Amino acid sequence: MTIGTPTRTGTDNGTGTGVGTRTPRPGARIRAARRTACAAALLLAVSAVPTSAVAATAEPSHVEGQLPSGATYLMDVPANWNGTVLLYSHGYTQAGTPNPAQNGPDTATKALLLAEGYALIGSSYASTGWAVTDAVPDQLATLSVFDDRFGAARRTLAWGRSYGGLVTTAIAERHADRIDGSLSLCGLVHGGVANWNNTLDPVFALKTLLAPDSDVPLTGLADQAAATSAADALVTVVDSAQSTAEGRARIALAAALHNIPVWNQPTQTRPAADDWEAQQVNQYDAVKGLLKVAAFNRRQEAEVRAGGNMSWNTGVDYAKLLGQSSVSKKVRELYKKAGLSLKADLATLDRAPRISADPDAVAWMSGTSSFTGELTKPQFSVHTIGDALVPVQTESALRRAVTAAGSGSLLRQANVDNAGHCTFSPAEQLAALHTLEERVTTGRWRGTDAESLNSLAAEADSTTPARYVPYRPTPYLRPYDLAHPADGR
């Protein structure tokens, strides 16, 4: 198998900076030699494996079915199957919406992978919402069905996007014997407890500073109707506050506590570094999106699974968190412009009644959805830097856990210069997969820098953007992992 496909020519597809026709970069010959060596290693590996383990099919196979759990599965195996199966874990599916099986992130990426000879498999999960306790066993069961039908793969790579990145990381930590490596794209790699703590902080600030007399519940939501009502009420408050300089400054403070980037949708204009007002307008849209999507409706569903509230802000120093935020300077500038005292507002947050967690709910979320950082197989984790829903700082939380667990040599991370959640091009996703597969094949990480990844992306698909950049996220503001015992306090 060849890592990457021959370079093609193309034009901008309208999703970002066009790649177009490319000429070889200075390191192209070196990377070509690496791919040749990798292919040779794969050929030797194939010759050492019984032929039944790499079942070639006369025709492409498309298989759909149902697992005993009720989840459905989907498999696509090309006639020229290269012996690698990609186990794809999809993102969060809202209750009451269609929940089909998925075996890839998008049609274009799947087509490229099938053309390269990969087998693609994945399930729907037996339930929607915060479904990790269904998702992990359903994904492993799908892999077993594949093995029974097509023969054991020579190599299995688990990958997933968004919530599927959490599912993939859970598989990587707890079922490493079933896979050879893992790839998380825009994943919730900070884990469940950290996610819900960090989601609580901005809504706590909004309610405390903009609607202190409101009875809007932030946790303990009775049902989805109550969650929708609470979200709508706080969105109305935020909309009203946006009309004043004081309100805009306070919305910016809330956004900073979630590390919401100032460019977070591809449709937005990327603001200048000192255009505080334009930056705040972009964050305002993202704050409303957070309220409508995660802070209430998804929280309510997760609380039902956990058996109570799994997040808290008791003991949190919001002045300290703001100081660590990636967008703290903008907050100070907007407060100054509004003639408002940031110190006074932070003191108001300190005095406000705090929210305690249900210990049993924390234990459930921790046991099912938090990570030890103990990797035994290589993991590659990639994020867009302009992600408001799952901020890029989650990658810092993953690195923190893996480093504490002594698994740092097995983890590599990279970042894409684009706004939005999971807004990767097909080229960028293939480059990440090829990089992971080379690490599995050779036992060494090579080419995880931005230049190498962009070259791999261009070779895989020159018609879509390649936007990897050198980038180091700031620390995650509310980390929680099982490698740090103090996080449980």
Beta strands in 392-485 (DSSP E): 411-419, 468-469
DSSP bridge pairs for 161: 185
Q: Where are the domains of the chain?
A: 28-190+376-488, 192-365
pLDDT at 36: 45
Given this model, what pLDDT does residue 489 score? 65
Asked if 433 contacts 379 with a C-beta cutoff of 8 angstroms, the reply is: no
Do 485 and 405 contact (CB within 8 A), yes or no?
no
> In this structure, what token pair is assigned to residue 335?
């407060």
What is residue 479's three-state secondary structure? coil
CB-based contact 193:311 (threshold 8 Å): yes
All residue ranges of the chain with pLDDT < 70 are 1-58, 489
Q: Give residue-wise pLDDT tens across range 270-313.
A: 999 999 999 999 999 999 999 999 999 999 999 999 999 999 99
Q: Give me the pLDDT at residue 21, please.
A: 31
Please report the pLDDT score of residue 74 as a whole number: 98
Residue closest to 218 by CA, chosen among 207, 238, 345, 210: 207
Q: What was the pLDDT predicted at 107?
A: 98
Encode pLDDT of 200-226 as tens digits. Answer: 999 999 999 999 999 999 999 999 999
d(CA 454, CA 466): 5
Residue 62 CB neighbours (<10 A): 9
CA–CA distances in Å: residue 172 to residues 84, 162, 181, 183: 17, 15, 7, 9
Q: How far apart are CA 166 and CA 389, in angstroms?
A: 14
Identify which of 189, 138, 133, 180 has the alpha carbon closest to the alpha carbon of residue 160. 189
**Three-state secondary-structure class, residue 101:** coil
For the CA atoms of 128, 77, 446, 472, the dihedral, rounded to the nearest 10 degrees, stands at -20
Largest CA distance in the chain: 74
Task: Round to whole Å and give the CA distance between 353 and 334.
Answer: 26
CATH dotted code for 28-190+376-488: 3.40.50.1820
Tell me the two tokens of residue 152. Answer: 């054991």
CB atoms within 10 A of CB 75: 22
Distance CA 186, CA 381 (A): 8
Q: Pairing relation of β-strands 119-123 and 72-77?
A: antiparallel
In angstroms, rounded to a whole number, what is the distance separating the alpha carbons of residues 219 and 302? 11
Rounded to whole angstroms, the Cα distance separating 395 from 249 reads: 27
Rounded CA-CA distance 402/239 in Å is 40
Predicted confidence at residue 58, as pLDDT, reads 67
